[in-house]
Amino acid sequence: MTEKLRCYFVIDMKSFFASVECAERGLDAMTTNLVVADADRTEKTICLAVSPSMKKLGVKNRCRLFQVPKNIDYIIAKPRMQKYIEYAAKIYSIYLKYISKDDIHVYSIDECFLDVTDYLAIYKIKARDFAKKLMQEINDKLHIPSTCGIGTNLYLAKIALDITAKHSPDRIGWLTEEKFIKELWHHKPLKDFWIISDGTINRLLNHGITDMAGIANYDADSLYKEFGINAELLIDHAWGRETCLMSDIKNYRSKSKSISNSQILPRGYSFDDAKVVLNEMIQDGCYRLARENKVAKLIHVFIGYEGIKSQKELVKGTRRMKFASNLYSRVNPYAESIFDEVVDKKKLVRRLGFDLSDLMDDEYEQYDFFTDVNALMKEKKLTKTLLNLKDRYGKNAILKGLDYMPNATQRERNQTIGGHNSGTDENA
């Protein structure tokens, strides 16, 4: 029996944050000049989104506010992350009217994969018409414009969205394996293709490969020697093939888990001030572990100085803790020891981050003969009480003296989502 030809959509909201801000103001996102940025910070603040009309004027997404040309008349909208989450939920509810949640994968706040294979026959509709129907309903109800990629596998749907949809009058791209080979085999640059990193591109260039046709027609053994098992994915994608199904995504469970956080400080911080912020971040990380009833055994800390331009310039350190724990009193000393060891006290710190990994259930928390178990149990009980109060009255309902230090950031960050203004009215 011939395997059923599948059909996937990838629908992406155009300049989502900017489009939401336009919709909230009753403005057309396609014609309004608007950027989403927190102008209260500095002119160096990053624009989280720029409207489509701004892009047509040459303004790039994720630019700095001061980089927007002075001759453009535009609106600056302060980020409201909670509002964007609410819109994303409404968009998801539109999909659910027509498609089971088992056939929807939320890729990001503004982008979803949909397996519509079985629904085309149910609704007696062609793929392109179904995509238009969904996009039109999102626009009619929420005033958010969108684009869509249609493909016979998940990879082709994503490529159709990223490369071909932008050139289509109806903002819909469509690819089969045959169309992919015919239309995109010689497309450049390679960075336009999903999942191909700069590092991969540079390694391909060493072999004289500059497009998908080059990968497809290159000696497979040489590719496996260069990329190992990853060569299989490169070769499949070069031919427009992808074996992953929506069910595979739904059934996937990560083997390794961690808790991490990072932030860019509002300005360069001294050694001592930066350590205060790190202490706050570790405290928050321990709260997150406690919420999930997990303990960590490994801690990784990274620091970036003012003026650095790439991740390669970050200084890093790792410690394997003697005992797995989620208590601040046991975890923070390791974070501080890394900080003390790797940070240059003469430089100003602008970036901070940590990762707590090797997680296990808290029932496996470890002690030794010298551990004051009563003191630890008391700290655990206090932590649970604090978390209950925060859940009931807000994250800033109860704070530690640490959070009131002059250069502390946690009170402000408690009012953000993903490090950006939430748009809520919770008081600090």
Domains of the chain (ranges, CATH numbers)? 1-174 (3.30.70.270), 185-250 (1.10.150.20), 259-421 (3.30.1490.100)
User: What's the pLDDT band for 415 if we cut at 50, 70, 90?
Assistant: low
Two tokens at 378? 């008391």
Q: Report pLDDT for 354.
A: 93
Q: For residue 367, is pLDDT > 90?
A: no
Determine the Cα–Cα distance for residues 50 and 149; give it in Å rounded to an integer: 22
Determine the Cα–Cα distance for residues 53 and 27; give it in Å rounded to an integer: 12
- Rounded CA Rg of the chain: 25
**189 preceded by a cis bond (ω within 30 of 0):** yes
User: What's the pLDDT band for 47 if we cut at 50, 70, 90?
Assistant: confident
- Tell me the mean pLDDT in the region 216-225: 95
Q: For residue 312, is pLDDT > 80?
A: no
Around Cβ 172, how many Cβ atoms within 10 Å?
22
- Tell me the mean pLDDT in the region 318-336: 92
Determine the Cα–Cα distance for residues 232 and 219; give it in Å rounded to an integer: 12
User: What's the pLDDT band for 48 if we cut at 50, 70, 90?
Assistant: confident
Q: For residue 337, is pLDDT > 90?
A: yes
Q: Nearest 5 degrees, angle CA 33-CA 145-CA 99? A: 160
Determine the Cα–Cα distance for residues 378 and 357; give it in Å rounded to an integer: 24
Bridge pairing between strands 34-36 and 75-77: parallel
Indicate the range of 104-118, 204-218, 407-421 predicted with least confidence: 407-421
Determine the Cα–Cα distance for residues 301 and 137; give it in Å rounded to an integer: 46
Bridge pairing between strands 104-108 and 360-361: unpaired
Q: Report pLDDT for 1.
A: 43
Q: For residue 362, is pLDDT > 90?
A: no
Q: Report pLDDT for 256.
A: 58
Indicate the range of 77-86, 145-154, 218-227, 394-403 predicted with least confidence: 394-403
Q: Report pLDDT for 426.
A: 44
Nearest CA among 295, 294, 267, 300 for reference residue 281: 300
Q: Report pLDDT for 97.
A: 96
Determine the Cα–Cα distance for residues 307 and 289; give it in Å rounded to an integer: 33
Q: Which amino acid is at 381?
A: K
User: What's the pLDDT band for 417 if we cut at 50, 70, 90?
Assistant: low
Q: Report pLDDT for 413.
A: 64
Indicate the range of 161-170, 265-274, 300-309, 371-380 predicted with least confidence: 371-380
User: What's the pLDDT band for 428 if we cut at 50, 70, 90?
Assistant: very low
| H/E segment holding residue 114 | strand 111-115
Beta bridge partners of 8: 115, 151
Percent above pLDDT 90 for the chain: 62
Q: How far apart are the first and last CA of the chain?
A: 64
Q: Report pLDDT for 394.
A: 75
The mean pLDDT value of the chain amounts to: 88
Determine the Cα–Cα distance for residues 324 and 408; give it in Å rounded to an integer: 27
User: What's the pLDDT band for 424 if we cut at 50, 70, 90?
Assistant: low
The single residue listed with the structure tokens 């700095």 is: 64
Q: For residue 425, is pLDDT > 60?
A: no
- Which has more confidence, 3 or 276? 276
Q: For residue 364, is pLDDT > 80?
A: no
Indicate the range of 60-64, 66-70, 80-84, 114-118 predicted with least confidence: 60-64
Two tokens at 151? 């493909």
- Which has more confidence, 4 or 183? 183
- Tell me the mean pLDDT in the region 235-259: 86
The pLDDT tens digits for 94-111 are: 999 999 999 999 999 999
User: What's the pLDDT band for 139 if we cut at 50, 70, 90?
Assistant: very high
